[in-house]
Amino acid sequence: MESKVEASAPKVTVTALEESNSDSSSIENGFQPPERRVVQANLAILAGVLLPCIPIVAVSAALLGILFYHRVDLNPGHAELHIPTNEVDKNITNWITLIRKQGGEWAYYVEYNPSTLTTIASWTSRVLPWCASSIMALVAFYAARHIVLKSHRGNGSDLPNPQQLTILINVLGGSSWGPIKDTVLHRYRSRERLVSPLPLSTLALFAITLLGLIIPILDSWFGIATTAPIVTQLYPRDAQLSFGRQLSSSDSGSFCQGNPRGTNDCIRQNTFWPCNVWNYECYPVASLLGVGDAPKITQDASSNHKAWNYTDASGTNYYYLGSPNQDALVDFKAHTFATSTQCVPITHKCYKYSRDDNSNFEDAGIFNCTDEFHGSLYSNILRDSPEKQVSPNIGVAFAQNPELTVVGDVVNGPSADDVALRAQYTFPKLYTTNPLYFGAWAIGYPQADPVNTLASPFASDDKGIAWAADLDPGNGATWQLNCSTTVYDVSYTWIDGAVHTFNKTKSTTDMAALLSAPFAYAANLSAIPLALSSVAQTASVLNTSVGLANAFADEMSKTMLAYAIGAMEPKLNLLEQGRNSTLHVARVPIVPLYLLLATKAVFVVVVLVLAVGAYCFSHPSETEAVRSALSAKGLAAAHFQSPDLMQSNVVKEVQSRLEAVRGAEPPQQPPTPHEKHEAAQQDLDDDMSSRPKLQHAATAPVQGNLPAREARVGLLPAADGSWQFVMVANGVWNSIKPIVKSIVVSDAAAGGLGDVGKVITAWK
């Protein structure tokens, strides 16, 4: 049976090919491919899976392994010892900046070099450009299967035309965006329908190329957002340290037993005796417990206790007892005692001295603040009572009220009818109030300049200070203050070397009286005058009466705590945790990390699905030869009717055939390149029927040009079970030399096929 093609050139008769086409289905179904082709197909599928998947899986596994093996658990610690982080302003600009630079709020902290982590993560991006061709090799199985089926079961209209086949081969080559662009341009320029498998193959290449673009972008974001901060690691633990303070609970060194009144209540006089002042049967013996460490506390030199300062949001200063060993390495919650003192100058209400020619020098030191709070600075007495003698130059007197109208009551001796003892032993009454109210006075803080005694460091209109240059025993500044001290029970948290919360409640009035006792007993306790002098000396460096009053208040708070230390003992912390604030880590943001891993997982899943589908549904053992031929080299091999041409040394194969064409000739001088070209052209122009020849896959080409839209490229089964490319126009099979010219010859002329391309170029 013969078919004829009408064209501008003479008709060409095709015979054998028609017979092949008539039973192509039976050939496909009955042919058993050689074992070598099955192995090649399986190896191609396996390579298509392993080449892209192994690097991605290995890199991802290595990254996750390092992350979770070296991950640092930044334990939040005790809830009460947690500093809340500042909320980030949720406006869009800050949100974008946070996402771009830090990858969001959630992150892993890894004790590992961040540069190494980002380098490992970026290895995938370096491998991906080499993986596209391997993946498209899997897609080629589907394309080959489709062309096979449509070649012997379709009507020809479902086969690609030469131009679309050219684009398909480039798409299956996996060369990034170029083939995708060619496909789109061809669709809209030629305005013709894209025939399968070109659309799906192009879509597959687009997806692979897009993933290959997204993964490096995510890699870059991951690298930018992974930083190397210094973070804090917390170690919650049972309380081990005693940074808090409490009243002494035993007889060891104290008589308190947890009560400010202790065990020495002077019941007969119904008088409160503090447990930090030692006495015997209510006799005011001059002995203050803990006095040895108290001066060191005021100078921050004690190794056992420290009076720490805390200032609240309103600016109020508090002093509280703690340990000198508190530092940033341990966070804790503890109980202690604190004091806060406020003083205001009242000199303008109290000091009556006005120097003139008729002044009585004896009256120079008289002050009179209230009927109860008055005295003589010159005589160092309060209310002209020797029993209320004050310390030289500086004194304090406790009162029952803030107006200082009930001041410095005196308690007589231990027995109401023992007149001799009552006269010998008199002592002040402690006021059990909280706050404690007291007045303070001083002269000579600061002292006048010996050379220029009239020069005052205070402003002339500062009524809180009186300046005198001729008072004895001291001259210079004279001042009176009205003060109050509040005593608190405090529960505070110490975090990262500073107070974080400071919860205070007023202590009992007995506790406040205990802190006032050393200063009320100043006349009997030799250490107290020195302590008051130190307080006044520290305050006198200020050159305003208000500044002096505030400094005196702060120093008085600190000194009261220090001289009550004999009634105190360390108390175990309520909560405790260790802190390491110098931990260098890599901050790995969770959002970029898992987006990157998810994208890689999608990539791997797509490849696996393609491979499984190719193995199960594309008949790879039958379509392997077709898949291999869907390339420039494969098409050249098919055109020269040598399927093995691709797998062998192409140059050697073609040259050996050309030598067979020329026949054996004696050795001659090597021809020039020009002579080689002319000789090859002459040999190919000779009569091909009388010599061994390079045969075409089908018949000789139809003379003239076939209409591009009518011609289709398909496959015919050969007798050995292989498939041969042919071109169909008007229902007639023809040679594919036009396709070879379009793809192979152009690729060969461009140097894409190496040395064999030169032979093919000469052959055309």
Q: pLDDT by residue (tens digit) across 338-361?
A: 999 999 999 888 875 544 444 444
252 in any annotated domain: yes
pTM over 0.75: no
> How far is C-alpha 553 from the geometric centre of its chain's CA atoms?
45
Residue 708 has pLDDT above 50, yes or no: no
- The pLDDT value recorded for residue 123 is 86
Phi, psi of 604 (to 5 degrees): -65, -45
Residue 552 has pLDDT above 90, yes or no: yes
The long-range contacts involving 297-300, CB below 8 angstroms and separated by at least 24 positions, are 297/558, 297/561, 297/562, 297/565, 298/531, 298/534, 298/555, 298/558, 298/559, 298/562, 300/324
The tally of domains found in the chain comes to: 1
Tell which wins on pLDDT, 15 or 493.
Answer: 493
Are 424 and 417 in contact, with CB atoms under 8 Å apart? no
Per mean pLDDT, which of 376-390, 486-500, 592-606, 619-633 is the most reliable? 486-500
Mean pLDDT of 285-309: 87
Assign 515 a pLDDT band (cuts: 50, 70, 90).
very high
Per mean pLDDT, which of 425-434, 539-548, 645-654, 738-747 is the most reliable? 539-548
* Of 84-98, 447-461, 475-489, 584-598, the least confident: 84-98
Assign 424 a pLDDT band (cuts: 50, 70, 90).
low
For residue 492, give both structure tokens.
Answer: 């505070």
27 in any annotated domain: no
- The pLDDT value recorded for residue 361 is 46
* Planar angle of CA 559, 562, 565, nearest 5 degrees: 150
Tell which wins on pLDDT, 376 or 279.
Answer: 376
204 in any annotated domain: no
195 in any annotated domain: no
**Rounded to the nearest 10 degrees, what angle do helices 198-225 and 590-617 cross at?**
160
Assign 9 a pLDDT band (cuts: 50, 70, 90).
very low
Assign 281 a pLDDT band (cuts: 50, 70, 90).
low
Tokens 């000579």, residue? 444
- The pLDDT value recorded for residue 498 is 92
- The pLDDT value recorded for residue 277 is 78
Encode burial over 83-103: b for 16+ CB neighbours within 10 A, e otherwise: eeeeeeeeeeeeeeebbeebb
Q: Return the beta strands (E) in 171-220 as ranges.
A: none
Mean pLDDT of 168-189: 82
- The pLDDT value recorded for residue 379 is 61
Assign 626 a pLDDT band (cuts: 50, 70, 90).
confident
Mean pLDDT of 307-317: 94
- The pLDDT value recorded for residue 651 is 39
The domain of 444 spans 244-579
562-608 pLDDT, tens digit per residue, is: 999 988 999 999 999 998 888 899 999 999 999 999 988 988 888 89
Mean pLDDT of 415-422: 50
Residue 165 has pLDDT above 50, yes or no: yes
Per mean pLDDT, which of 183-192, 201-210, 273-282, 592-601 is the most reliable? 592-601
For residue 677, give both structure tokens.
Answer: 């070209």
Residue 678 has pLDDT above 90, yes or no: no
Tell which wins on pLDDT, 103 or 587.
Answer: 587
Assign 109 a pLDDT band (cuts: 50, 70, 90).
very high
755 in any annotated domain: no
Assign 305 a pLDDT band (cuts: 50, 70, 90).
very high
Handedness of CA 358, 374, 386, 522 (dihedral sign): negative
**Rounded to the nearest 10 degrees, what angle do helices 527-539 and 509-520 cross at?**
100
Residue 725 has pLDDT above 50, yes or no: yes
Query: In whole numbers, what is the pLDDT of the chain averaged over residues?
Result: 75
- The pLDDT value recorded for residue 30 is 45
255-276 pLDDT, tens digit per residue, is: 688 888 776 555 445 567 788 8
Residue 610 has pLDDT above 90, yes or no: no
114 in any annotated domain: no
Mean pLDDT of 406-423: 57
Mean pLDDT of 720-743: 57
Residue 707 has pLDDT above 60, yes or no: no
- The pLDDT value recorded for residue 162 is 75
Mean pLDDT of 637-666: 45
Mean pLDDT of 461-487: 81
Residue 280 has pLDDT above 70, yes or no: no
310 in any annotated domain: yes
Residue 668 has pLDDT above 70, yes or no: no
703 secondary structure, DSSP code: S
Assign 157 a pLDDT band (cuts: 50, 70, 90).
confident
Angstrom distance (rounded) from CA 125 to CA 708: 41
- The pLDDT value recorded for residue 559 is 95
- The pLDDT value recorded for residue 358 is 41
Dihedral angle of Cα 353, 354, 357, 361, to the nearest 10 degrees: 10
- The pLDDT value recorded for residue 665 is 46
- The pLDDT value recorded for residue 539 is 93
Mean pLDDT of 518-535: 84
* Of 159-163, 258-262, 647-651, the least confident: 647-651
**Number of residues that this document lists for the chain:** 764
Residue 709 has pLDDT above 60, yes or no: no
- The pLDDT value recorded for residue 212 is 81
Percent of the chain residues topping a pLDDT of 90: 25
**Rounded to the nearest 10 degrees, what angle do helices 162-172 and 132-153 cross at?**
150
429 in any annotated domain: yes
Tell which wins on pLDDT, 727 or 336.
Answer: 336
Q: How many CA atoms lie within 13 A of 281 on its CB side?
A: 4
751-764 pLDDT, tens digit per residue, is: 655 555 555 555 45
